[in-house]
Amino acid sequence: MVKKEILLIDGHGLAFRGFYALPENLCAEDGTPTNAILGFMNMLFKALDEWPSSGLAIFFDAKGPTARHLMFESYKGGRKPTPEGFKVQLPLIAELCEAMGLPVFSREGVEADDCIAATARACASDGCLVRILSADKDLFQTIDENIEVIRPSRGVTDFSLYDRRSFGEKYGFAPPLMADYLALTGDSVDNIPGVPGIGEKSAKELVGKFGSLEGIYENLETVAKARRSKLEENRELAFKCRELIVPQPTDAVPQEELEAKEPDVEKVLSLCAKLGLKKLAARFKSPEEVPAEEERGALSITEAKEVPLAELLKSGEIAAAREGEIFALADRSGRFAKFEPSRAEEAQALKEWGARGTLYLYGLRELLTEFPDMPLPPYERIRDLEAENYLLHPDRGGRSGIARAINMPLPEGRELALLLFGLCEALEREIAKDEKLERVMKEIDIPLSFTLAKMGRTGIHADAGMLSAVEGELAAHIAESETAIEEYVGEKINLSSPKQVARLLFETLRLPPIKKNKSGFSTDASVLEELAKLPEPLCTVPRKIIEYREESKLQSGFVQPFLKLAREGGGLIHSTFDHLATGTGRLASRDPNVQNMPVFGEWAERFRECFTPRSEEHIFVAADYSQIELRVLAHFSGEGKLIESFRDGRDVHAETASWVFGLPSDEITPEQRRFAKTVNFGLIYGMSAFGLAQRLGIPRPTAARIVDRYFAVLPKVKEYISGSIAEAKAKGHTSSIFGRIRPLSEVSTIEGRGNNPLDRVAVNSPIQSTASDIAKIALMKFDLALEKAFPSAMTILQVHDSIVCECRREDAEGVEKLLVDTMEAEEVLAVPLKAEPKRSASLKGL
């Protein structure tokens, strides 16, 4: 017996996908946008043509709250406001569907997904074969023997059909467990946070191995430590997320209502004429009414037309996207051309166009790094989708962040080039609402891409011979440490195994356990440090294990990978400096991370000594901002004592100690200054009295008195802390002096870290963001000035608040003065900036 086939369509989701998949400049004669309508209709008829069904229905979300909003107060609260261009088109889509005789359903207080799930299961239980057309992963839960899901996989042209077999091949677990998977990964579209730090790969492994959340938490002791701690801290959140994802019970639509009716042809044609939908109209006209050009490919996806490069370059605005070693260029009319940077005549043509044109792209810094000779317009006429998205959503940057926002993977090549105009303009409208935010993009983030790409290409020199020698000596020392411990305890221990180390310390040596975790007694760094304080000989083994771990980490994490890169790069190591990667706007470094090289200890010094100028005639010149974040705090708080101290060039930590302890500055001991310094910096990062007590090794009541005294003598600092928290929560985001924002609803990296983690973000982000932008502005200005004044010199590093360059020894004095003057020239704070210079023949001295 042939099963009755039914197609259930997620109307809202498909319309939303169509809105972002087609250019925003598609409009009717009266200016009504039509990209969502065209995208929806393309997907609808492609599905109807490919999967003819005897029953169908299209479901839309109704306005107003649903049961989920009552369950989870912030449900969908973090979504960006619905674009006005989309709002206009949604009712037109529903009106067109109804005019075409297609059953349309929208139920007050019920989400479309829930109604689709209930209807699918009811029809499947009656023996029907049900297919659900949706871009929403939630509906994968419904897949069973008689339910399949059709999901757009690329733009509005390609679909993937998932049944139980294909779903299992892709995800590695059964469809009903999709709710558990999404509870871990989260769903930014619906503002479902998931478990912070658990990505798609980890979630697949966990659900594939243990099944449901219950299975995962029952077997938590077998999960790797890093994942286990994240899961432990967010147990309640995980189950709450799953509750939001599982379909809510609701009545199914009766099968008899899933029947298409005769279309109201007159109304369809009237709407098509109004909206300029000629290809849709062609489906409802008799053959003699349809002109030949309309008949061909009726309602086919908007196809880009390839034209010669010279023809395309007549356009004033062009979008570019990589296709391997060439580029696809497109204009707003949907035309495209291929551009090969290696062809001199094409490069010259693009260069001439760049003198007048505006370029849209994704990933300016990466393009400049990989294609340094590619001719581009001045940065003022470059629109970078990556930078624009980061500016609005710094905690949701990159391709994955944009993909979550538009509910589809960001394509590549020609398809991306065609999308760039609409995507960029949607973001630019949001940015343009804030003049300061627009300036951050135009004056910092876009031009900084040129500086960072150049710095990455320049690289830093590493002496491979010296690194090789350090590797050999370090390996020998690690082996000696292992042997020494083995001889001391009389047995061989795998020092990389926490279980074996715990057994050695707490069973064999009977040392006092400090704390427990799920798998037993902890042997983390804090435990070993406490055990190392025990009297001899009890402290011997803990100290040796600390030494072993530090040496092993340095060897595997730094010496070996940097040696490999130095050999591959002919002595030069090229890092990627990324200014679009951190929530606060701080510059990041990766592949490798040259900002996080070890500093303290004998081996760290030996390692840093291996990084030298390119020749003996060269030297490193660097300068570091002195206490820049405290200076920003002084500016934000308006605290007179801090401002006066910085303006007079006094030692702010000694001054703080003097105020807190009520002693003259010249009577402050080094220990009291250390206490004050810890308090000064700790408060910026939200340190409590408990944390201060731990850091200083003093009783908690003593630490609490120090904090109280600090705020008593610096009351405006306390006012700033409480005021910045209230202001950020009222606005929904933090703001720096320059106008850089950080939406609190999107911050996920601090979940579970003690009390009031968002309060710490509200206090610290404006300070750290302001300090980092000051440093980035100085970096740009210095690099430009250095190139003009000292052409042989080069900027090679920025490590947070410091800038490092390499120059000839005879130029060192002039380069140092230029560096210090440039760093101190930015006048945005109520206190002066101070840069402290250094020179050295290796990174060891910086």
Q: How does DSSP classify residue 304? A: P
Tokens of 627: 């206490």
Chain mean pLDDT for the chain: 87
Question: Taking the CA of residue 355 as centre, how many other CA atoms within 13 Å lie in the half-sphere pointing to its CB?
Answer: 5
Given a contact cutoff of 8 angstroms between Cβ atoms, the answer to whether 255 and 123 are in contact is: yes
SS (H, E, C) 347-392: HHHHHHHHCCCEEEECCHHHHHHHCCCCCCCCHHHEEEHHHHHHHH
Instruction: Give the list of residues 6+ apart from residue 272 with CB closer than 8 angstroms, or none.
Output: 278, 280, 281, 284
* pLDDT at residue 752 is higher than 50: no
Percentage of the chain surpassing pLDDT 90? Answer: 49
Question: Which H or E run contains 471?
Answer: helix 464-489
Query: Which residues on adjacent β-strands are paired with residue 618?
Result: 808
> Tokens 């109280």 — which residue?
708
Q: Provide mean pLDDT across the span 77-105.
A: 84
Q: Report residue 52 CA to chain centroid gap.
A: 41
Residue type at position 254 = P
* pLDDT at residue 78 is higher than 50: no
> Tokens 């771990």 — which residue?
549
Instruction: Give the list of residues 6+ apart from residue 134 with CB closer than 8 angstroms, or none.
Output: 9, 10, 13, 14, 113, 116, 149, 150, 151
All structural domains of the chain: 5-172 (3.40.50.1010), 305-433 (3.30.420.10), 464-570 (1.20.1060.10), 632-753 (1.10.150.20)
pLDDT on residue 83: 80
pLDDT on residue 77: 47
Q: How does DSSP classify residue 247? A: P
Categorize the per-residue pLDDT at 291 as very low, low, confident or very high, splitting at 50, 70 and 90: very low
Categorize the per-residue pLDDT at 281 as very low, low, confident or very high, splitting at 50, 70 and 90: confident
Residue 842 and residue 607: Cα distance in Å, rounded? 10
Total length of the chain: 846
Is the Cα dihedral 647, 648, 653, 657 positive or negative? negative
* pLDDT at residue 700 is higher than 50: yes
Residue 300 and residue 417: Cα distance in Å, rounded? 20
Spatial strand order in the sheet of 305-306: 305-306, 335-339, 326-330, 317-323, 358-361, 382-384
Given a contact cutoff of 8 angstroms between Cβ atoms, the answer to whether 247 and 118 are in contact is: yes
Burial of 700 (0-12, 13-18, 19+ CB in 10 A): middle
Categorize the per-residue pLDDT at 300 as very low, low, confident or very high, splitting at 50, 70 and 90: very low
pLDDT tens, position by position, 200-233? 888 899 999 999 999 998 888 888 877 888 888 8
Pairing of strands 317-323, 305-306: unpaired
Tokens of 805: 């360059």
Three-state DSSP at 616 gives: coil
pLDDT on residue 76: 47
Q: Provide mean pLDDT across the span 313-320.
A: 95
pLDDT tens, position by position, 553-576? 999 999 999 999 999 999 999 999
Q: Provide mean pLDDT across the span 627-637.
A: 94
* pLDDT at residue 831 is higher than 90: yes
Three-state DSSP at 602 gives: helix
Q: What is the DSSP string of 243-293?
A: HHHSPPP-PPPPGGG-------HHHHHHHHHHHT-HHHHHTTS-GGGS-HH
pLDDT on residue 278: 80
Residue 758 and residue 732: Cα distance in Å, rounded? 11
Three-state DSSP at 319 gives: strand
Residue 755 and residue 418: Cα distance in Å, rounded? 46
Percentage of the chain surpassing pLDDT 70? Answer: 92
> Helix-strand-coil percent breakdown of the chain, rounded to 5?
55, 15, 30
Burial of 476 (0-12, 13-18, 19+ CB in 10 A): exposed
Query: Which residues on adjacent β-strands are paired with residue 447?
Result: none
Cα dihedral angle (543, 546, 548, 554), rounded to 10 degrees?
-140
Categorize the per-residue pLDDT at 46 as very low, low, confident or very high, splitting at 50, 70 and 90: confident
Tokens of 422: 């609409």
* pLDDT at residue 169 is higher than 50: yes
Instruction: Give the list of residues 6+ apart from residue 653 with CB closer than 8 angstroms, or none.
Output: 673, 676, 677, 680
Min mean pLDDT across 187-191, 357-361, 792-796 is at 187-191
pLDDT tens, position by position, 109-167? 888 889 999 999 999 999 999 999 998 888 999 999 999 999 887 666 678 899 999 99
CB atoms within 10 A of CB 771: 28
* pLDDT at residue 67 is higher than 70: no
Instruction: Give the list of residues 6+ apart from residue 150 with CB closer than 8 angstroms, or none.
Output: 47, 51, 131, 132, 133, 134, 159, 160, 161, 162
Given a contact cutoff of 8 angstroms between Cβ atoms, the answer to whether 579 and 365 are in contact is: yes
Given a contact cutoff of 8 angstroms between Cβ atoms, the answer to whether 493 and 544 are in contact is: no
Cα angle: 834, vertex 836, 841; to 5 degrees: 160
Categorize the per-residue pLDDT at 836 as very low, low, confident or very high, splitting at 50, 70 and 90: very high
pLDDT on residue 645: 92
